Structure 1
Amino acid sequence: MTIRALLFTLAMTLAAQAGANPRAPECVVPAKPGGGMDLTCKLARKGLEPVAKQAQVNPALRITYLPGGIGAVAWSSVLSQRRAEPDTLVAFSGGSLLNLAQGKYGKASAADVRWVAAVGADYGMVAVREDSPYKTLRELLDAIRRNPGAISIGAGGTVGSQDWLKMSILMRQAGGEPKSLRLVAFEGGGESFTALLGGYVQAVSGDVSEAALYVPTGKIRVLAVLADKRLPGPLAHIPTAREQGFALDWPIIRGLYMGPNVPDKDYRKWVAAFEKMMAQPSFEQLRAAHGLYPFAMTGDALTGYVKNTVEEYGRQAKELGLLR
């Protein structure tokens, strides 16, 4: 066999192997390993396994990490380099939508990408130590209103973060001044609860999934969950903020999006795959094992939800002086 014939045969073999073993789809985590974004991709990978053949998708979802700029690096990468990749998914959360509304992704809008699926939700909450004198959300907010400097509140992120915004809205509804809040910024909920247990802050504005880790210890008291109704599981006995007279729900959805130029047939294929995944009876248990509550939305319905949520976050941010 001549060298030319050998090279031709080798090229044909490699081409055949590439066709038989297409590159596995990718789920991009726009953060470091660990945390909610990573959890979203891992839930998707595990949940798609039983429906992959029926949905005609590759279940071997590769998880890669692209941290930076609170999700802005991954967003920019998709819009500049990966606009039409048919098997690239990117994790997002309610925090991503808040950052989008506040312009932290530059001149971007919800219409810049294709929203595939929301696979679950976390919810906001407010907690104190078990030995705190405050037994209800209103008692805490009234105390802050009377003497803002006396009560420090642990929060994940600085001014404009979800934890900051939640407390600001509640403070305003309680008749107080949001700018008077004494918030202490931490990297995440874990640090906030450590500070609470150590007595360095007197309350925490955080998420239910974080609080659920500490409730069984008997060392903290959750005053309210920011959901439209009481949640199942270890916090089922905790009243909502609405039950206590405060009109605030704060779902923190978790899901995935794709590039804006992904062919419609590929986009619809993934939408259908996630619809099949979330319709599986076993998915509810799997989602709960990943610390999330029911929230299932896909395709056009999710696109509308995201658009409305970004607009609402923008309105709230303007009212609180975060945007002009």
Structure 2
Amino acid sequence: MIAKRLAQAALVVLVATPAVAFEPQNAECIAPANPGGGWDFTCRTVGRILDELDLVDGSVQVTNMTGAVGAVAFANVASKRADDPNLIVATSTVGITQIAQGRYPGDVDTMRWLGMLGADVGTLMVGKDAEYADANALLEAVKADPSSVVVGGSSAIGGWDHLRFLMLAQEAGVPADQLGDIRWVEFSGGGDAVTQMMGGHIDAVLTDIGEIGGFIESGDVKALAVMSDERLPAYPDIATATEQGIPATGYNWRGFYMGGDTSDEAYDGWVEILSDLYESEAWQEAAVSSGLTPIWRGGAEFEEFVRESEARTRDISKAIGVID
């Protein structure tokens, strides 16, 4: 009888005692670039807000680990810290593009992808007096003759701006073996590309809206589409590509991964922490002030998004000869 009562008492204690939620200790964020860049901003801003909101115990240490557009940090985590529950690494669309093009020492399954907190959005635009009324009109011209339209942006051939335009072209019906015929011009920034377009040197621009929003607001250019799931609150009159029958999104997002051998407890804990941060007024203000559109994808949804993005980027990179 005594043994039975002791067992019952123990069961009550177990039921009444809630499970301890995951709490990172001495949290660290690796920014795979020098101070001042986008990955550094992501680590430092998120780290500061995590501390201010007491979402982690103590301050977040930021470590800058430069090299090979994030490949050095990726290799370091994979080989030395794959199971570290206290470490997160800043990444973005650029990192996934590098993986898709075989420039990292591993594939997407090497890491666990936590979530994205915000993004700049690809925008297709032409001069204010251009004949194209919408994205379909421009892409129909490209479809009829891929070399007839000259497009520019702030990346080289095979970079993210270029790939985003190719995604639009592919969805509009340009055959994969003709994507490489599309004429692309690289500029040092989106603003330079728009200036050259306004001067009549190129026909269209595809770049992040955060770089060239002022041209849209002034009426100097005509935005044909934004590559987002929904219309942007700051630009409600610009239709999405998907609305126009071109189902392609093109986010230049900011987010995080952690080592591939971390526990489910640590992974789920960090997803919850970052979700709470995303919902905070502090993050919403920080994102908008830095030119980002707050967008949350986390956990399994984000991992699926990363895999789909990598596969599509790899396929288009092959089609244009960037990789074999």
- Shared topology, TM-score over 0.5? yes
For structure 2, the 5+ residue unaligned runs are 1-23
Number of aligned residue pairs: give it.
298
Instruction: Give the Å deviation of 1:214.
Output: 3.1
Residues 180 and 319, structure 2, Cα contact 8 Å, conserved in 1 = no
Partner Cα separation in structure 2 for residue 222 and residue 236 of structure 1? 12
Alignment map for 1:208-227 (pairs within 5 Å): 208-227=209-228
Alignment map for 1:141-160 (pairs within 5 Å): 141-146=139-144, 148-160=146-158
Report the TM-score, using the length of structure 2 for normalisation.
0.78
Match of 1:307 in 2: 307
SS in 1 for 2:140: helix
Partner Cα separation in structure 1 for residue 34 and residue 231 of structure 2? 32
Match of 1:44 in 2: 46
Match of 2:74 in 1: 75
* Comparing 235-244 and 60-69, the one that deviates more: 60-69
Match of 1:13 in 2: none
Instruction: Give the Å deviation of 1:34.
Output: 4.0
Match of 2:95 in 1: 96
Instruction: Give the Å deviation of 1:94.
Output: 2.0
Code of the residue aligned with 1:103 in structure 2: it is: G
Q: CA distance change for structure 1 residues 143 and 264 in 2, over 3 Å: closer, same or farther?
A: closer
Q: Deviations over 1:126-172 (max 9, x none)?
A: 11232433332223223344555553211233332222222223223
Report the TM-score, using the length of structure 1 for normalisation.
0.78
SS in 2 for 1:134: coil
Partner Cα separation in structure 2 for residue 322 and residue 286 of structure 1? 36
For structure 1, the 5+ residue unaligned runs are 1-21
Match of 1:248 in 2: 248
Instruction: Give the Å deviation of 1:120.
Output: 1.6
Code of the residue aligned with 1:250 in structure 2: it is: G
Residues 47 and 60, structure 2, Cα contact 8 Å, conserved in 1 = yes
Partner Cα separation in structure 1 for residue 25 and residue 296 of structure 2? 28
Code of the residue aligned with 1:41 in structure 2: it is: C
* Comparing 257-266 and 43-52, the one that deviates more: 257-266
Alignment map for 1:1-324 (pairs within 5 Å): 25-52=27-54, 55-58=55-58, 60-106=59-105, 108-146=106-144, 148-176=146-174, 177-233=178-234, 235-262=235-262, 265-318=265-318, 322-324=322-324
Code of the residue aligned with 2:207 in structure 1: it is: G
Instruction: Give the Å deviation of 1:30.
Output: 2.3
CA-based RMSD of the aligned residues comes to 3.0
Partner Cα separation in structure 2 for residue 32 and residue 105 of structure 1? 18
SS in 2 for 1:120: strand
Instruction: Give the Å deviation of 1:92.
Output: 0.9
Residues 71 and 96, structure 1, Cα contact 8 Å, conserved in 2 = yes
Residues 51 and 276, structure 1, Cα contact 8 Å, conserved in 2 = no
Identity of aligned residues (%): 31
Instruction: Give the Å deviation of 1:82.
Output: 3.7
SS in 1 for 2:287: helix
Code of the residue aligned with 1:164 in structure 2: it is: H
